[in-house]
Amino acid sequence: MAKVFRFHDGNDLYDWQDSNPLNDKAIAAIVDPNGEHSSREITSIPSPFARIDLVRTAFNVVSKMGPEGDSIHHKMVSDALDIGQIFFNYEKFKDKIEIISWNPRNDLEALLNNGNPSHKLLGESLRLYYVQDADNYNFSYDSKLYLINYKDGQNPINIIGGTSPASLFFTSANTYNLDFGDGSDIFLDDEYLPLQKRDPEYIKYLYALKESIPNFSSKFNEVDEYLSMIFPLLTPELRTSIKNETVSFYNSLSDLNIDGGGEVVEILNTPLKKGKDKRDKIKESNFVIEPINNVDQELLPLVLPNDNFSGQLMYVTDFWKNTDKTPHYDATPISERILPFDGNKFPYLTISDLLEPVIIRTEYPIDGFYFDKANFNGDKSFLLPLKPLFFKYFSTDFLSSVINSERVFELKSLPAGSVEAILRVPVKNGNHITFKRIYYNPVNQSHKPEFSELDNKGAVIENRINIAITPFYEFPESIQPAYNIAYYDADRIPLLEGNVFDYEYYSSKNDLIRNVEPVRR
């Protein structure tokens, strides 16, 4: 007997017999030869709108399998949720993406009537499927689709996904290796994140959107089932908030506009919203600097690790990953910086904001009775390689204090004349961030020192300079102080000849003393 070619199981048919159309059970019985593994995208479906159907089906399958998994269905659901989160956080990612509207009524007519035979054929095909699948996918000539273009992709246009009238959001099957995400989660990557593990504000927004779209359970049945499955997995506080505040929460959010213009992004004529400014939430981060000085500053910066970090500290919406590392150097002004692994605009400090790229070794040892030597003992000493910004937040006395049984700042001797600087910066709740930089001793002091803040590589340079201050005494406020400051410079190597030194004077509170009247002798 001839082989019966059939995707699903069923009784064999002989001669001419009636067969039933495929139903949900028959479709569910189809065995994927790839094992439904996420490494193989489902692409061979003969419809330009097949991706919308595949994502909708994925929500249905995951609702039955459970939220955790590595199947292609879990990948599509995770990616669709990523697209929704990109829309929600548009203000955060607008430098990397743009929203493009597709109007079926106008844009199909444009394809049909522009005179290009190929465009006309495409327009006819799209119109055929759009009309044919209207009931199944909730298509309407009065409802637009909105697509996300990734501006940093390799092609002129890189559509990574968009809105869907059947599954809220859908994605492309292409791989784009995005460089942005939320917290430690990179969007559209190979780590799949179910809804309950995402930003609570975004979770709340999706349930608010569910309540705002008319007939949601019938038009988005598969997504509705997924949301019902996820709800018991949420925290009690979030469940209570969703039950009591979805409508008011939705109304409190601003409409999402295309490039700040008048066109509002919609799904089935219901406006999408954009998340609120997260600055207040970021202010609660465990990485906010904990200054000793009184600092008149609206936004205290975060202090972010530039090396592996083992602490369990809350970043913005998630805990900091111990493998995440901030750049050693950021040329952007501190107030204009974008938080790494998050994307929000918020000030943060990294190692090169606080440590100089070069450390100066003195010809003679520094008097440790009067000056902080950072626990370094030897025939020679080092000037502390701290940038002025450090003293905006901390006093000089603070350098010798202890955080969690370790000195705030110390220098450690290394072989071949190199030295390591270790700076521990206090952050919220008694924690601290440790910065380390090695300053390498050049083979020949007459050579220009090689250093790189980008690579966190410092350099040692030896100056034959000395400064003496007398009297080493703090005068009462009622007395006009007068100090003798002696400066000695014996540098004669060509590299250092011609150096010009300037002096600034500070109080014990690190305030710059102005109107100093120097008298040279």
Q: What pLDDT, on the 0 to 100 scale, is given for residue 42?
A: 57
Q: In DSSP terms, which residues pair with 105 in a beta bridge?
A: none
pLDDT band at 9 (very low <50, low <70, confident <90, very high): low
Stretch 34-57: mean pLDDT, rounded?
67
Residue 384 has pLDDT above 50, yes or no: yes
Residue 375 has pLDDT above 90, yes or no: no
Which tokens in the block code for residue 476?
A: 């009462």
pTM: 0.70
- Euclidean distance between the first and final Cα of the chain, in Å? 116
Name the residue with higher pLDDT: 281 or 207. 207
CA-based Rg of the chain, rounded to a whole angstrom?
32
Residue 128 has pLDDT above 60, yes or no: yes
Which tokens in the block code for residue 308?
A: 């592996």
- pLDDT, tens digit, for every residue of 282-330? 999 999 999 999 888 889 999 999 999 988 899 988 889 888 999 999 9
pLDDT band at 26 (very low <50, low <70, confident <90, very high): low
Stretch 161-190: mean pLDDT, rounded?
88
- pLDDT, tens digit, for every residue of 110-124? 888 887 888 888 878
Stretch 386-415: mean pLDDT, rounded?
93
> For the CA atoms of 251, 256, 261, 267, what is the dihedral angle to 10 degrees?
-100
Q: Which of 142, 136, 267 is nearest to 206 (CA)?
A: 267
The average confidence (pLDDT) of the chain is 86
Stretch 223-231: mean pLDDT, rounded?
97
Out of 30-44, 256-270, 317-331, which region has the weakest mean confidence (pLDDT)? 30-44
| SS3 per residue for 139-201 | CCCCCCEEEEEECCCCCCCCEEEEEECCCEEEECCCCCCCCCEECCEECCCCCCCCHHHCCHH
CB 114 within 8 A of CB 244: no
pLDDT band at 31 (very low <50, low <70, confident <90, very high): low
Q: φ and ψ at 168, to 5 degrees?
A: 70, -55
Residue 1 has pLDDT above 50, yes or no: no
Q: What pLDDT, on the 0 to 100 scale, is given for residue 511?
A: 80
Residue 350 has pLDDT above 90, yes or no: yes
Single-letter amino acid, residue 397: D
Q: How far apart, in whole angstroms, are the C-alpha atoms of residue 328 and residue 340?
A: 12
At 386, is the secondary structure helix, strand, or coil?
strand
Which tokens in the block code for residue 479?
A: 């007395």
Q: What pLDDT, on the 0 to 100 scale, is given for residue 4?
A: 47
Q: What percent of the chain has pLDDT over 90?
A: 49
Q: What pLDDT, on the 0 to 100 scale, is given for residue 411?
A: 95
Domain ranges of the chain: 34-103+144-274, 277-521
